[in-house]
Amino acid sequence: MTKEERINCSLFESLLLHFNRHPERQSLSYLGCNFSQNQILDEIYRVKSYLENNGIKKGDIVSVMLPNIPAFVFSFYGISANGAVVSLVPTYTSVLQLKNRLTKTKSKIIFIWDVLYRDFKDMLDELNVTAIVCSMKDYAAEKYYPYIEKKFNVNMDATLKYSDLTQPKKGYKKEHIKLKGTEPAVHISTSGTTSGEPKLVTVSARKIHTCLFRHYDNVLIKRFKMPGHGVALVDLQFACGFVFAFGMHMLLCHEKLIILPPELPGLKLAMLTENDIDFYFTHQNIISKTIEFNKDACAQAFSHLKFLNLNLISPPGTLRNDVRALLPDGCVYADSYGLTELCCVIYQRYNDDTGYTIFGGKHLIKDMNSDAVLPPTEKGELLINSRYIMDGYYNDKEITRNCYKAINGEKYLLTGDIGYLDEMDRFYYVDRLKRMDKIGGYSVFPAEIEAVIKTVPNIVNCVVARKTDANGKHYLTAYLQVSDKTKFDETAAETKNTISMKLNKFHVPLKFLVMDGIRRTPMGKNDYRYYEGLGD
């Protein structure tokens, strides 16, 4: 099979191509249960058989609202094998958001987590959507049940459970619907943090495949000499971004993948300690909670790692150094992030504290008030031109069209990320464009101020919010979470001084308020929209 044929096929066909080489190799592990490639394919065909027997056809949309459990993997590829489109739904999605999404996509089947099912049942019944309820206990060894039951209120009072799906009848032909790589493969929603409303993004299998080969072969293997056919642990929620879904696809095709359900730090540390894990792909909030749970155990658990990738959703403060201090000598550390719309274009930084290398596309910095392309060190909006960018927002051609800009005859995506490039073409993130404000004639970026505030001792977390007084004049308020409230006055004074020294006086917030904690969005990001609407 040529390289063109390898990328111009469905996600399932790509997986099948890799699995046909070593059918007995163990490629998936979950809480004491290991799956060979043949066993994974059997489960995928089990899902496909159910879908085709219940009227799902090529191009239909089937929803998946699951954490990292085996049913996620099997449903993801079973939907693809049947020629349908996978609609990934984060587990933090509200009832109203899911209702709107199911209505918009006309999805009639959803694979849903048993922990959530009770809250969504009435809405699903109203829309006549069939719910296939999946449990974290499915396939898990019994010794892990107490971990699950202690953390989650499991509800299996369901009409149809994943465990009820029958294996195809004897003689069933293990065939699949052939798709072109350019056809829609996956839908996923943006976080909605910037606009306040999640948007549904579409991407084709071809873009995922192209980036898979490039990133795995050129970055992990050639640049960092990562071992082929190693063991990878992933606790990033696959349903929360194309990079995560792409990561699952890449690792299943090339490595042995260990997956874990969320919010079980003790269990994760046990898995890291008991298994010789080469790669660990995790999330900023997840690893913060794990270190807080037992920092000493983390050092032992990370002792086998050769590569750790940390997905960021906000400036990490001291977290980057905290993580690197726990890694063994020779372990490659990387932190990365990327917009959902960019699909598989990622910003990635390795063992140093320099800017991000942008993989997967050409990029430039555009002036915020004109179409001028800016030189290194000047702040502006990051624009990216890449074959990996989304196919568009689902059923919304106008919004899709408006998010692009022609520069020098080429089509660039307006990312909304403000930052600058250095002389080595590395990107330094400053803030989101929609958070920028003008104060005293200066462009002020709240995220840039937050990053400085987080370097001050006694500061745990913070949000800098834009405000407008009765006369229409703009100012900033800093909401601070501190470890010792008795030292708040001196902390606020030191914070003002630090901001003035590292930025300038126009970046110093007018007010400083102490908070018991900083409110977060379901995605785990600081909820700055809430604080912008909060009275002082």
- The Cα 390–Cα 374 span in angstroms is 25
Q: What is this structure's pTM?
A: 0.86
Last residue of a domain, one of 399, 431, 463: 431
- Per-residue pLDDT averaged across 395-414, rounded? 92
- pLDDT: is 382 or 471 the higher one? 382
Question: 511: domain range?
Answer: 436-532
508/367 same-domain check: no
- Per-residue pLDDT averaged across 164-188, rounded? 84
- Per-residue pLDDT averaged across 180-185, rounded? 89
Name the percent of the chain lying above pLDDT 90.
Answer: 44
Q: Per the domain annotation, does 50 fall within a domain?
A: yes
Q: Locate tokens 């929209």: which residue?
A: 529
**What's the pLDDT at 317?**
67
**What's the pLDDT at 163?**
87
**What's the pLDDT at 221?**
57
Q: Per the domain annotation, does 356 fall within a domain?
A: no
Q: Check: CB of residue 178 under 8 Å from CB of residue 5.
A: no
pLDDT of 352 over the 70 cut:
no
**What's the pLDDT at 435?**
87
- Per-residue pLDDT of 37-64, as tens digits, reads 999 999 999 999 999 999 999 999 999 9
pLDDT of 164 over the 90 cut:
no
Distance of CA 331 to the CA centre of its chain: 23
pLDDT of 228 over the 70 cut:
no
Q: Check: CB of residue 394 under 8 Å from CB of residue 403.
A: no
**Which residues make beta-bridge pairs with 527?**
none
210/309 same-domain check: yes
**What's the pLDDT at 220?**
59
**What's the pLDDT at 355?**
79
**What's the pLDDT at 380?**
95
Last residue of a domain, one of 371, 401, 431: 431
- 3-class SS letters over 279-312: EEEEEHHHHHHHHHHCHHHHHHHCCCCCEEEEEC
* Helix 11-19 / helix 205-214 crossing angle, nearest 10 deg: 40
Q: Is the dihedral of CA 244, 249, 291, 356 positive or negative?
A: negative
Helix (H) / strand (E) element for 200: namely strand 200-204
Residues 6+ apart with CB under 8 A from 229: 25, 254, 255, 256
**What's the pLDDT at 302?**
94
pLDDT of 276 over the 80 cut:
yes
**What's the pLDDT at 271?**
87
Give the lowest-confidence range in 73-87, 148-162, 483-497. 148-162
- The Cα 146–Cα 148 span in angstroms is 5
**What's the pLDDT at 278?**
87
Q: How far apart are the first and last CA of the chain?
A: 64
Q: What is the mean pLDDT of the chain?
A: 86
- pLDDT: is 381 or 312 the higher one? 381
Q: Locate tokens 């839908």: which residue?
A: 187
- The Cα 37–Cα 26 span in angstroms is 6
154/295 same-domain check: yes
Strand 307-311 with 61-65, pairing: unpaired
- pLDDT: is 284 or 134 the higher one? 134
pLDDT of 197 over the 80 cut:
no
Q: Where residue 449 sits, what CATH number does that domain have?
A: 3.30.300.30
Last residue of a domain, one of 337, 370, 405: 337
260/238 same-domain check: yes
Closest CA to 283 of 221, 326, 240: 240
Provide the domain count of the chain: 3
Q: Per the domain annotation, does 351 fall within a domain?
A: no
- The Cα 530–Cα 536 span in angstroms is 12
Whats the size of the chain, residue-wise? 536
**Which residues make beta-bridge pairs with 258?**
29, 233
pLDDT of 528 over the 90 cut:
no
498/515 same-domain check: yes
Longest CA span, the chain: 77
Q: Where residue 88 sits, what CATH number does that domain have?
A: 3.40.50.12780
375/499 same-domain check: no
For residue 39, report the phi and psi dihedrals to the nearest 5 degrees. Answer: -65, -40
pLDDT of 501 over the 80 cut:
yes
Helix (H) / strand (E) element for 447: namely helix 446-453
224/303 same-domain check: yes
Closest CA to 382 of 452, 313, 312, 430: 430
| 455: Cα within 13 Å, side-chain hemisphere | 11
Q: Per the domain annotation, does 250 fall within a domain?
A: yes
- The Cα 131–Cα 123 span in angstroms is 11
Q: Per the domain annotation, does 504 fall within a domain?
A: yes
**What's the pLDDT at 526?**
87
